[in-house]
Chains A and B, each alone.
Chain A
Amino acid sequence: MTEERFSFTSGAKKTLIITGIIGVVLLILGVILTSGSDHGHGGEHHALNEATENLLASATPPQEAAVEHAAQNEHAEEGGHHESPIWLKRIFANLWVNNVYFTGLAIIGLFFVAIQYAAQAGWSAGMKRIPLAMAHWLPIAALLMIASWFVVKADVFHWTHSNLYGEGGDEILQHKSPFFYWPLEAGSFPLFYFLRMVIFFVLWYMFFIWIKREMLAEDIDADVKHWYQARKYSAIFLVVFAVTSSVSAWDWVMSVDPHWFSTMFGWYVFASWWVTGLAVITLIVVVLKENGYLKIVNANHLHDIGKFIFGFSIFWTYIWFSQFLLIYYANIPEETVYFIERLDAEQYKWVFFLNLLLNFFLPFLLLMTRDAKRHMALLKLVCPIVIAGHWFDFYLMITPGVMKQDGGFGFIEIGMLMIFGVAFLFVTLSSLTKAPLFAKNHPMLKESLHHHI
């Protein structure tokens, strides 16, 4: 087999840069439009917030409820001082949505590779470099997430407000405070939370470096020991990822609604990340193939990865529905508040149903037949649907909790997504140029060539 290298043409770079500039323009336009129509949030009474508070209050015993309600009202009055204007808050919420979404894509790149090694899969030998290239976003994701956490925390993470703790504070959050603040005092710096964020990224990055080293060694020497070594790292990484993906889902996404919790949430975020990652891998493979690369990837391989997207779209729906049905059926106020926040607000209701359409009905029906998974044209239609759909999924997890009824979807969101998307693609594609598109000494390359389903 001859080596094949991807060249990131200046034409492609130009397209990406122009897309990025359009994103910036849209973002600025969105800010101007939003700040122009900013009707203030201090004076108006938020019907939705009040409904939420009442629901929460009704769940606690009456005497406590009165105290808590008073405390919350007091807090709401104080709230005006440190809250950012709506347009800025919206940028912060979006920054966080995109941080979580693109971090997910990067770590799923590594996760896909690890799964292939751990399962000793042969079919994917020709396309493993694409998910590996996606994982190059990890260090940037880490810096972006840690840096932006300090900027957005007061607006995105309600639990960071120090006045919630201590006498007359928020009872529920006081009980949860060790999860954030240990070993420091509640309301000070959330050391435990912060350390988790740093440690997760360090762990992920370490495994990325180790697995990458073994993968790239397969270009140079034909010793099968690299494959065994990569499999060992992969197996350990999968255990690490099982824990870290769940905890990071609680930390980065679920804690946006700090009073609420769901035991399904780790799986839910993972499912969303995983299926998006698969769609991005497939889309990049298909586009590369259309540009004459990756001749060794044929309809059989596309069929397999198409089955992955199809299957995990259903898996996501299963998780999503399991979470929804239990909360809907049990009808416990402190749980239903999550869906009331999303379904009783005009600006989120359409996203809620669009989410199901894009992430379940369309992939389910479009990818059902064998031919659909084997033809690039249909994959090129479904992958963007899934990628956009799961962005909306993360939008729906985070934005309503941060913005309440002030949220919306407009140029800010589109612009921000374009900027992040361009940056992610730039990193992915330029790291794809740094190594051959497939390892010519991969012990399973031959098996992959003869893959037939």
Chain B
Amino acid sequence: MESNKHFVLGIYDDEDVLLSAVTKVRESGVKIHEVYSPFPVHGLDEALGYKRTRLPIAAFLFGLLGTTLALTMQIWMLGYDWPMIIGGKDYVALPAFIPVTFELTVLLSALGMVGTFMVISDLKPYKKPRLMDIRITDDKHVMAIDLAKNALAKEKIREIVGGTGATEVNDKNFEE
């Protein structure tokens, strides 16, 4: 399936200008697709109105899964399937199971979190990245506005972005 994506890009060379631009653009009713910057800009998430990620919930649940798996595995193996006396302890010697339980909790929590992150961020191995502007890897901040998500005309959006201190306003099309 082929679909074309059309973006208007505002290029900024200062993060303070960028921050106030993001606020202004959003106030004028334009939805911002994404802002790309070469380094983390404090307060950008708030300015863009991003909701907090729910990744920690996934991490917690994966961790819980790890705990449950580890305990079930050890209790079943050493308690029921093949009971063994080790060091004169009970078959089910809980303190001895804790290190393995801890490790599996951490492992599943970490792997699950990374996996969830890749899925929700659409980071597939064969994914071709959309590079808005090569200078975001160097010294420019780029605000990308998806025309399909905005009802306003392209010229109007270009005008709004241009009035916020952008050094350049460019068009960018992707054919995918």
Seen from chain A, the residues whose Cβ lies within 8 Å of a Cβ on chain B are 321, 324-325, 328-329, 331, 368-370, 452
Distance in angstroms between the alpha carbons of A146 and B63 in the assembled complex: 48
| A-B pairs with beta carbons under 8 A, tally | 21
Beyond A325-B99, A329-B96, 10 additional contacts (C-beta under 8 Å) are A321-B95, A324-B95, A325-B95, A325-B96, A325-B98, A328-B95, A329-B87, A329-B95, A369-B56, A370-B56
Q: B60 contacts the other chain (Cβ, under 8 Å)? A: yes
Chain B nearest CB from A237 CB (Å) reads 33
Interface: B125 (CB within 8 A):
no
Which residues of A lie under 8 Å from residue B95 when comparing CB positions?
A: 321, 324-325, 328-329
Question: Would you call B87 and A331 a contact (CB within 8 A)?
Answer: yes
Nearest-neighbour CB distance to chain A for B158, whole angstroms, equals: 32
Distance from B112 Cβ to chain A, minimum over Cβ atoms (Å): 16
CA distance A452 to B40 in the complex (A): 12
Question: How far, in angstroms, from A325 to B94 measured CA to CA in the complex?
Answer: 10
Docked CA distance A370–B52 (Å)? 10
Which A residues are CB-close (under 8 A) to B89?
A: 329
Q: Is B43 an interface residue (CB 8 A)?
A: yes
Residues from chain B with a CB closer than 8 A to the CB of A324 are 95
Contact partners of B98 in chain A: CB under 8 A: 321, 325
A452 vs B88: C-alpha distance in the bound complex, in angstroms? 53
Query: 19 A-B residue contacts at CB 8 Å?
Result: A321-B95, A321-B98, A324-B95, A325-B95, A325-B96, A325-B98, A328-B95, A328-B96, A329-B87, A329-B89, A329-B96, A331-B87, A331-B88, A368-B60, A369-B56, A370-B52, A370-B56, A452-B42, A452-B43
- Whole-angstrom CA separation of A331 from B88 in the bound complex: 9
What range describes how many residues of B lie at the interface?
10 to 19
Which chain B residue lies CB-closest to A321?
B98
Nearest residue, chain B, Cβ from A451: B42
Chain B residues with Cβ below 8 Å from A321 are 95, 98
Shortest Cβ distance from residue A414 to the other chain B in the assembled complex, whole angstroms: 31
| B43 surroundings in chain A (CB, below 8 A) | 452
Q: What separation, in Å, do the CA atoms of A370 and B55 have in the docked complex?
A: 12
Those 10 A-B pairs whose CB atoms lie nearest each other, nearest first: A328-B95, A452-B42, A325-B95, A329-B87, A329-B96, A331-B87, A331-B88, A321-B98, A324-B95, A369-B56
Residues on B with C-beta less than 8 A from A370 are 52, 56
Residues of B within 8 A of A368 (CB): 60
- Contacting A at CB under 8 A, from B134-151, are none
Q: Give Cα A331 to B87, complex, Å.
A: 8
Q: Which residues of the other chain, B, contact A452 by a CB distance below 8 angstroms?
A: 42-43
Q: What are the residues of chain A within 8 A of B88 when measuring CB–CB?
A: 331
What is the CB-to-nearest-CB distance from B136 to chain A, in angstroms, rounded to a whole number?
Answer: 23
Distance A329 CA – B60 CA, assembled complex (angstroms):
30
**Which residues of B from 39 to 91 have beta carbons under 8 Å from A?**
42-43, 52, 56, 60, 87-89
Whole-angstrom distance between the Cβ of A448 and the nearest chain B Cβ: 14
B60 nearest CB neighbor, chain A only: A368
How far is the CB of A323 from the nearest CB of chain B, in Å? 11
Q: Which residue of B lies closest to A452 (CB)?
A: B42
Looking at the assembled complex, report how far the CB atom of B60 sits from the nearest CB atom of chain A, in whole angstroms.
Answer: 7
> A369 contacts which chain B residues (CB < 8 A)?
56
Bound CA–CA A159/B95 (angstroms) = 32
Closest Cβ of chain B to A359, distance in Å, is: 16
Complex CA–CA separation, A370 to B96 (angstroms): 32
What B residues does A328 contact at CB under 8 A? 95-96
A452 vs B47: C-alpha distance in the bound complex, in angstroms?
A: 14
Instruction: List the B residue with the shortest CB-CB distance to A371.
Output: B52
Closest to A318 in B: B102
A329 to B99 alpha-carbon distance, docked (Å)? 12
In angstroms, Cα B96 to Cα A331, docked, is 12
